[in-house]
Chains A and B, each alone.
Chain A
Amino acid sequence: MRFYGAIVVALLIANAAFAAEIPQAERRSGHSFMKPDTRAMQDEETANPGMLWVLDGETLWKRKLGAANKACADCHGDARTSMKGVAARYPAYDKATGRPIDLEQRVNSCRSNHQQATPLPYESRELLALTAFVARQSQGTAIETGDDPELAPFIAKGRELYMQRQGQLNLACANCHDDNWDKKLAGSAITQGHPTGYPLYRLEWQSLGSLQRRLRACITGIRAQAYDYGAPELVELELYLMSRARGMPMEAPGVRP
């Protein structure tokens, strides 16, 4: 009995030590974990509630505002061509701040610098609409985030956070999303945590939400103190997750249960 106990302990230690990253060929979008009816809801443009935000975003794209009285379209023209593949490269390195910024922060930096308008809060209808509209233009495009060598130290920091056990449950992101993605948590699929469809519509939220909202909800779930919206740690985590999903096709706005 003691012998078997020792084997179990040894296996547990081995498991913890060699918690492997998911091989490239085994990577799966959260889409593939869903029931067929939820998948159908995402796949059909007129059934995907996220498309309501995309429609709103298209209107906002053309709306002149701020002291500069400029619309997004006045600089960027037709989003169908100018924004194609853009969301698939975010978070991206921002020379001005010397840090990675996510799509939400890019929209807000454009608003403050070029439109001379007030930045939009995270999860506001307008910001979600604009990011959903921009991300939609990359539908089917392979994720390229992390190409820029300047990003390497920030990806490493994001990875560190992903591997770091934290909170009262003492769990790292990796404990669920690398080690146990083929299992269930309270009846729900755990998934591999590839952010291919953000901003996405969660049926539970009854709304569109950003990747940061998802991350904050996960962090609260492991009973840790969530970082504030826009915190550098969250952006680094977004960056790591997107670089981890490199090559997977964008599917924003996704639908999840």
Chain B
Amino acid sequence: MASALINVPAKAKRGDIIEIKTLMSHIMETGYRHTASGEVVPRNIITSFTCRFNGTEIFRADLFPAIAANPFFTFFTTATESGKFEFEWTGDRGFSETASASITVE
């Protein structure tokens, strides 16, 4: 089970600065912890987050083991035209999740 929560305003005026918020469910296991018997718990983190708007990349972040579980990203962009934001999270063990949200710009 992996779920994402996305907060993108449904409508905005052209030129408005809008805030985008995303929350992705992930344990973000650092790879630095050991079990009681001394074995290393293998690293399992999200390594990359990208946001594309109408196909063009507008935001990217690399993630590292120090980032907490269920990473929350918030960033700003300028509303230029109506379209679709596409979000993608990729990580260890073939982790790959996507989500999208549309905006109407008037």
Contact = CB atoms under 8 A, between A and B. Distances in A.
Interface of B: 1, 3, 5-7, 21, 23, 25, 27-28, 68-70, 72
A49 B1 contact: no
A128 to B, nearest CB: 11
A52 B6 contact: no
Contacts of A125: 1
A206 B68 contact: yes
Interface of A: 44-47, 49, 51-52, 55-56, 59, 125, 129, 203, 206-207
Given A203-B68, A206-B70, A207-B69, A52 B21 contact: no
Contacts of A59: 1
A56 B5 contact: no
A56 B3 CA distance: 7
B1 A56 contact: yes
A46 B6 contact: yes
Nearest to A125: B1
A252 B27 CA distance: 21
Nearest to B5: A46
A56 B27 CA distance: 15
A52 B72 contact: no
A160 B6 CA distance: 46
Contacts of B28: 206
Given A46-B7, A59-B1, A206-B28, A52 B69 contact: no
Given A46-B5, A59-B1, A129-B1, A52 B68 contact: no
A217 to B, nearest CB: 18
Contacts of A52: 3, 5, 23, 25, 70
26 contacts: A44-B7, A45-B5, A46-B5, A46-B6, A46-B21, A47-B23, A47-B72, A49-B23, A49-B69, A49-B70, A49-B72, A51-B5, A52-B3, A52-B5, A52-B23, A52-B70, A55-B3, A55-B5, A56-B3, A59-B1, A125-B1, A129-B1, A203-B68, A206-B28, A206-B68, A206-B69
Contacts of B27: 206
A27 B90 CA distance: 45
B1 A46 contact: no
Nearest to A49: B70
A49 B70 CA distance: 7
Nearest to A60: B1
Given A46-B23, A56-B3, 10 more contacts: A46-B6, A46-B7, A49-B70, A51-B5, A52-B25, A52-B70, A56-B25, A206-B28, A206-B69, A207-B69
Contacts of B69: 49, 206-207
A51 B3 CA distance: 9
A52 B72 CA distance: 12
